[in-house]
Amino acid sequence: MDFKVGVIAGDGIGPEVTAEAWKVLEKVGSTFGHNFIRTDILMGGCSIDKYGEPLTQEAIDAAKAQDAVLMGSIGGNTSTSPWYKLPPEKRPEAGLLGIRKALNLFANLRPAYLYPQLAQACPLREEVAKKGFDMLIMRELTGGLYFGARHTEEVDGLMTATDTLVYNENEIRRIAIRAFDVAMKRRKKVTSVDKANVLDSSRLWRKITEEVAKDYPEVTLEHMLVDNAAMQLVADPTQFDVILTENMFGDILSDEASMITGSIGMLSSASLNESSFGLYEPSGGSAPDIAGKGIANPIATILSAAMMLRYSFNLDKEADAVEKAVEKALVDGIRTGDIMPREGDLSGITKVGTSGMGDAIADRIG
């Protein structure tokens, strides 16, 4: 079967980690009889360098013509890169916000799973880490503070900045439905995270979520304020199954969740619209400080490719094969530098670079 895949390699370590994910996809194709047809698309800093824009209409049109898009990382060093001397709407991250809006990618899924083999790399207390955890953060991606009206002006002699947080009931309902649908396939629990003790938008979020919950009597719904959720993620992450939250809260909490897995290089991500189309990317940044050194961890991008197989192509068996290959590589002691044990016996552990990890995972697909 043929599948059209747009590849946005992006900036920093993006080209390195997407190359390894593509290597794994090609192994999946040869093993299971599929053909993944690649179209390269420029977005982010590399698009600025060539076109003067982080996202062109041609890039949007090319993405829309694919069955799914696999992305690396966008952006550079905010202190030194000339990209960040440009107006905000011309910077690399504006391309990311733009493509999410253009493709109506309203639902962001970020799994956070602690592999037993990486318990030593987890920064949590040993008694917490040894219990493990398996959660999924469902983040609304096209509304809220990041997409509301904003301006900076002088008011009474003082420079004053305003950002507007807006959600309507339809935006909340559709992301809540996605969260409950996913929960039905997992452990049937949704934790809706908000700030309903302060924000009107959160009070509406809570009201609509409770309405949706009535259609899912098998799913347990709990509400949690975002500050408490941040604390509970490090105190007892095992309590979470599906976390449902708005755009900014989800941005912050998912990065926190990524670090307790042992490394941000382990966290995959899917951004979906109302059809089967999705954009799949690692949750970490472009890491310009290590770009080109061949030491970046490609696992998050490889697992994002597995999510693409599952959610856009309906290839569950193939997705399972990729996820099992990742686990086999870890069981066999294959590690990039960011997930090396911090102390103890290193016998049986092999440190590899970006391509070495990609090879190890591809070799274990069968």
Kindly report, residue by residue over 102-114, the tens digit of the pLDDT: 999 999 999 999 9
Q: Which residue, 212, 237, 260, sits at the end of a domain?
A: 260
Is 195 noted as a catalytic residue in this protein? Answer: yes
Residue 129 shares a structural domain with residue 236:
yes
Over residues 281-307, mean pLDDT? 94
Q: Report whether pLDDT(264) > 90.
A: no
3-state SS, residue 24 = helix
Of 301, 303, 293, nearest in space to 337 by CA: 293
Over residues 50-63, mean pLDDT? 98
pLDDT of residue 366: 84
Structural domain span for residue 193 = 123-260
Q: Which residue, 260, 291, 322, sits at the end of a domain?
A: 260
Residue 141 shares a structural domain with residue 250:
yes
Over residues 344-365, mean pLDDT? 93
Q: Report whether pLDDT(98) > 90.
A: yes
Q: Which residue, 260, 290, 319, sits at the end of a domain?
A: 260
Q: Examine residue 116 and state whether it is found in any structural domain, yes or no.
A: no
Residue 268 shares a structural domain with residue 255:
no
Residue in 23, 27, 113, 146 annotated catalytic: 146
Residue 189 shares a structural domain with residue 296:
no
The percentage of the chain sitting over the pLDDT mark of 90, rounded to a whole number, equals 84
Residue in 67, 134, 181, 255 annotated catalytic: 255
pLDDT of residue 259: 82
Q: Report whether pLDDT(208) > 80.
A: yes
pLDDT of residue 117: 86
pLDDT of residue 120: 79
Q: Examine residue 39 and state whether it is found in any structural domain, yes or no.
A: yes
Residue 44 shares a structural domain with residue 4:
yes
Over residues 251-271, mean pLDDT? 87
Is 146 noted as a catalytic residue in this protein? Answer: yes
Mean model confidence pLDDT for the chain = 94
Is 255 noted as a catalytic residue in this protein? Answer: yes
Residue 104 shares a structural domain with residue 21:
yes
Q: Examine residue 99 and state whether it is found in any structural domain, yes or no.
A: yes
Residue in 195, 216, 241, 280 annotated catalytic: 195
Over residues 223-237, mean pLDDT? 97
Beta strands in the chain, from DSSP E residues, in sequence order: 2-10, 35-40, 68-73, 107-113, 134-140, 150-155, 158-163, 189-194, 220-225, 242-245, 270-272, 278-280, 334-335, 350-351
Residue 142 shares a structural domain with residue 235:
yes
Q: Examine residue 176 and state whether it is found in any structural domain, yes or no.
A: yes
Residue 89 shares a structural domain with residue 168:
no
Kindly report, residue by residue over 323-344, the tens digit of the pLDDT: 999 999 999 999 999 988 877 7
Domain containing residue 241: CATH number: 3.40.718.10
The DSSP secondary-structure symbol of 261 reads: T
Residue 255 shares a structural domain with residue 133:
yes
Residue 256 shares a structural domain with residue 127:
yes
Over residues 278-283, mean pLDDT? 93
pLDDT of residue 343: 72
Q: Examine residue 73 and state whether it is found in any structural domain, yes or no.
A: yes
Over residues 291-316, mean pLDDT? 96
Residue 299 shares a structural domain with residue 202:
no
* Pairwise CA distance, residues 103 & 247, whole Å: 16
Residue in 40, 163, 227, 320 annotated catalytic: 227
Residue in 11, 251, 338, 359 annotated catalytic: 251
Buried b (16+ CB within 10 A) or exposed e, 30-47: eeeebebeeeebbbbbbb
Is 227 noted as a catalytic residue in this protein? Answer: yes
Q: Examine residue 118 and state whether it is found in any structural domain, yes or no.
A: no
pLDDT of residue 164: 97
Residue 72 shares a structural domain with residue 127:
no
Whether the full predicted model's pTM is greater than 0.85, yes or no, is yes
